[in-house]
Amino acid sequence: MGELGLPAFRGKQLANHYFGRLEADPALMTDLPAGIRDRVGEELFPSLTTSLRHISSDEGTTRKTLWKLHDGSLVESVLMRYPDRATVCISSQAGCGMACPFCATGQGGLQRNLSAAEILEQVRVAARSLRDGEIPGGPGRLSNVVFMGMGEPLANYKRVLTAVRGIISPPPFGFGVSQRSVTVSTVGVVPAIHRLAEEGLQVTLAVSLHTPDDELRDTLVPVNNRWPVSEVMDAARHYADATGRRVSIEYALIRDVNDQTWRGEMLGRLLAQRLGHLAHVNLIPLNPTPGSEWDASPKPQQDAFVAAVQRSGVSCTVRDTRGQDIDAACGQLAAEG
């Protein structure tokens, strides 16, 4: 405000508009003097994202948006409304450099990191859409934010952490989402997990493991060549011990690749030994991308895998699949352009 020659209290006004009223157009901020609105807009509210396309599924309660950023980069977010909550899945990078072969985003490579503002804008638009009743079910409130869209969040650590603090802080400093309702996912960037454990946060850590053995994981999650399963488990344990929070173990079940019952037993034993009751397996039926050699496991094999994990005393549930008919797997819309 000082650089613009405006009194400091205008800063709090603007923050209240953005985080409290979910408004990013100074022309509509009627408590600002009309003479400064254009200038404030130019200096402080640049156009960060342009919606290219919305596609809906599940009777309108799942909505995927393809965003074009100022430099032409494409990213996606997905807003999902359930009877008891509303969740937005957001992107932290344009593309992804982790190169997991079964992931649509990973196949396209990394374009760039998103800024904290570009990440927060995805949350603001989702919160506003719910508040204004754009999603079936009447006006509502955004309750959950998951960093499970495009990109590896912990490879964009500083900006993601800034965005997390903006998501969880109360207005006018943030959107006021409960820390425990924010999930940060990672394929296993070990140094960043250890760092996150010391931030004093209560967000949920989700580790995309996808297989318990290094031999297969080297192929499915190439970063495993740098940080193998044992190191990922050490970091997950550090996070669980530092925060007292359960770690979510993400596991995309792929037919004839990682869905063998014996692998389920191996996964259960690994987690029982390394994390115990502080582990929860979130099994994800694979959403195949067009032309991919990868396919989802049959339901009977999925059930057998769940039972194999649970025999070790480890909690295991199957994620509710949403939006498969609208290419809701991350990266599919952006790949189409």
Which amino acids are annotated catalytic? 76, 330
Which residue bears the tokens 């494409």? 74
State CA 24 to chain mean position distance: 23
Long-range residue pairs from 55-61, CB within 8 A, at least 24 positions apart, any chain: 55/326, 55/327, 55/333, 56/326, 57/322, 57/323, 57/324, 57/325, 57/326, 57/328, 58/322, 58/323, 59/136, 60/135, 60/136, 61/135, 61/136, 61/137
Rounded CA gap, 294 and 289, in Å? 8
Taking CA atoms, 304 is separated from 186, 207, 257, in Å, by 26, 22, 15
Q: Name the nearest CA neighbour of 248 among 273, 275, 224.
A: 275
